[in-house]
Chain A
Amino acid sequence: MEKTIDNNDSQDIVVTPGQRLSKAVDYISLDGTYVHKGYIYSSVLGFQHIVKRNLQETKENKDENNNNNSSSEESNIKDERDFITVSKEKDPGVVPEIGSIVTVQVLRTNPRLASVAILCVGTKALKETFNGIIRIQDVRATEIDKVEIYKSFRPGDIVLAQIISLGDSRSYYLSTAKNELGVVFAQSVAGGTMIPISWNMMQCPITKTKEFRKVAKMDNSIETEQE
């Protein structure tokens, strides 16, 4: 067996898919790795990282839930093991996952839902778009019964949303039921870039007309708003 484990936060070890990294009892397997017959293997080409446990306190729960590969016996043992992951600098296979914040463009609307194309996951642009749906009950958190789709989104709008489920066979289901989610960029009928004036209104700088939107509350955490 190759001895590749270096306890210093080593970034320079390149591992290939299928390479045996360590015994399963030494580390907890995270992204880019899997457990097979008591050993941890790499599943991608990339650099091996050891993540110290104390830094990962918050991620711990998530790890236990998601990590189907590690045996149940392992997740029960709460010990001092560090996490092991393999990652490449360029992250290629971005796929929308439940919970991810995505940037979408509205394609068409009807009274029950808005069909959208997912353009970016987080700050990563997708090479090809995925389809999504924002259903009327997922537009906002309160007064769900009073939501009207055409007062929330119009085709062409750029919207921040969160993925809530894998949806039906064609599309992901998305939600904008949070303050910071909703329309971030929209053009008015006159062609101007509209300015948000309240949580449900945007104004056109050219004609001063107001249009209804489910507006996202701006903060600087998301890159698309840097325009």
Chain B
Amino acid sequence: MEAFQKIHPLEFYRKFLERSVRPDGRSLTDIRKTTLSVGSITTCSGSSFVKIGNTSVVCGIRAEVGEPPSINQTGIVSNQSKNHSYIFVNVELGPICSNAFSSSKPSEKAMSLGTQLNALINRLDIPTTDFYFDNEGKARWYLYVDIYCLDYDGNITDASIIAMLSALKNVTLQQGIIVEPNQYFKDSEQPTRKLSIQNNYFIPLSFAVIDDYILSDPCLEEEKLSSGQITITFNENQEICLLLYTGTNGIADDHLKKCIQLTKNRFDFINKLVNENNS
């Protein structure tokens, strides 16, 4: 059994898929157990820990102070994307989480995921005043969002998106004092504040395409065997804010519609999960 799976993994999977189950016991549309906890890391401004089945990621946000972005300094930074230059997302897929990654070579997967998450963050409409370090905004808070994968068992995209959003909602920023230029101190006596993103949500769901089957929330083995992958993310208004299909074969129209419907079904669950943990 074990040897058969190793030598002919695709045949092995087909035998299961014909009967509409997966080797781990899920049906094709089942999503693994998803859990979330926030604020467990004390050394940073906001943190979250997300587990989807075996896949687990931890997200920490560190806040640092710097001068406000000026057009001269950064060139293209414009008023159009207000918070473009305040939040930076990075994904770390290190050797600790899977044997597929090494410490010396940067992982392409991590790079592309980082870009996607940065694009998602941009659609959050956070007022610039939220990042003011002091009252006048002479200095600004910059948020570095780092997502570390601890266990890589497929569907890292969903886990990262949920982790990123809930960590952002967990961020508390302090009022600052500027003693001299470039000497910044935080005032622990003043009340802390949160970012005004409390009503924003990302509802992600990923799929893997094996032959003609669409598998929700694929595990690592399924991702490896799949000919294509779909990621759909909804925002708080049930509009699609990220839709990604990669694969060697085309995808049928009704398949895509089905996926969108499945993602919609996940809406309430994720909403509740994030709300419960951030109240």
Q: Do chains A and B touch in the complex (CB under 8 A)?
A: yes
Interface residues of A in 67-112 (CB under 8 A from B): 103, 105
A128 to B5, CA, bound (A): 14
Number of inter-chain CB pairs below 8 Å: 33
Q: Check if A105 sits within 8 Å of B2, measured CB to CB.
A: no
A227 to B6, CA, bound (A): 13
List of B residues within 8 angstroms of A103 by Cβ: 3, 6-7
Interface residues of B in 1-30 (CB under 8 A from A): 1-8
Q: Check if B3 sits within 8 Å of A123, measured CB to CB.
A: yes
A158 at the interface (CB under 8 A from B): yes
List of A residues within 8 angstroms of B279 by Cβ: none
A125 to B8, CA, bound (A): 12
B70 at the interface (CB under 8 A from A): no
Closest chain B residue to A158 by CB distance? B7
Closest chain A residue to B2 by CB distance? A125
Closest Cβ–Cβ distance, residue A193 to chain B (whole Å): 10
A183 at the interface (CB under 8 A from B): no
Question: Does more than half of chain B's interface fall in helix, strand or loop, or is it mixed?
Answer: helix
**What does the 1/0 interface line of A107-139 toward B look like (CB < 8 Å)?**
000000000000110011111100000000000
A90 to B99, CA, bound (A): 20
Question: Does more than half of chain A's interface fall in helix, strand or loop, or is it mixed?
Answer: strand
Closest Cβ–Cβ distance, residue A96 to chain B (whole Å): 14
List of A residues within 8 angstroms of B1 by Cβ: 223
Q: Check if A224 sits within 8 Å of B4, measured CB to CB.
A: yes
Q: Check if B7 sits within 8 Å of A119, measured CB to CB.
A: yes
Known: A127-B99, A128-B99. A226 touches B7 (CB 8 A): no
Q: How large is the interface on A (under 10, 10 to 19, 20 to 34, 35 or more residues)?
A: 10 to 19
List of B residues within 8 angstroms of A123 by Cβ: 2-3
Closest Cβ–Cβ distance, residue B112 to chain A (whole Å): 24
Number of residues of chain B lying within 8 A (CB) of chain A: 9
A124 to B8, CA, bound (A): 15
A226 to B99, CA, bound (A): 30
Closest Cβ–Cβ distance, residue A191 to chain B (whole Å): 13
List of B residues within 8 angstroms of A105 by Cβ: 7
List of B residues within 8 angstroms of A126 by Cβ: 6
Pick the contact of B6 from A125, A185, A226 — CB < 8 Å?
A125
Interface residues of A in 139-159 (CB under 8 A from B): 158
Q: Check if B6 sits within 8 Å of A119, measured CB to CB.
A: yes
List of A residues within 8 angstroms of B6 by Cβ: 103, 119-120, 125-126
**What does the 1/0 interface line of B250-275 toward A look like (CB < 8 Å)?**
00000000000000000000000000
List of B residues within 8 angstroms of A227 by Cβ: 4, 8
Q: Check if B7 sits within 8 Å of A120, measured CB to CB.
A: yes
Residue among B1, B2, B3, B5 facing the most chain A CB atoms (10 A cut-off): B3
List of A residues within 8 angstroms of B99 by Cβ: 127-128
List of A residues within 8 angstroms of B7 by Cβ: 103, 105, 119-120, 158, 185, 224
Closest chain B residue to A119 by CB distance? B6
Closest chain A residue to B100 by CB distance? A128
List of B residues within 8 angstroms of A125 by Cβ: 2-3, 5-6
List of A residues within 8 angstroms of B5 by Cβ: 125
A119 to B7, CA, bound (A): 7
Closest chain A residue to B6 by CB distance? A125
Residues of A within 8 A of B (CB): 103, 105, 119-120, 123-128, 158, 185, 223-224, 226-227
**Sample (28) of A-B pairs whose CB atoms are under 8 Å apart:** A103-B6, A103-B7, A105-B7, A119-B3, A119-B6, A119-B7, A120-B2, A120-B6, A120-B7, A123-B2, A123-B3, A124-B2, A125-B2, A125-B3, A125-B5, A126-B6, A127-B99, A128-B99, A158-B7, A185-B7, A223-B1, A223-B3, A223-B4, A224-B3, A224-B4, A224-B7, A226-B4, A227-B8
Nearest 4 pairs between A and B by C-beta?
Answer: A125-B6, A125-B2, A120-B3, A119-B6
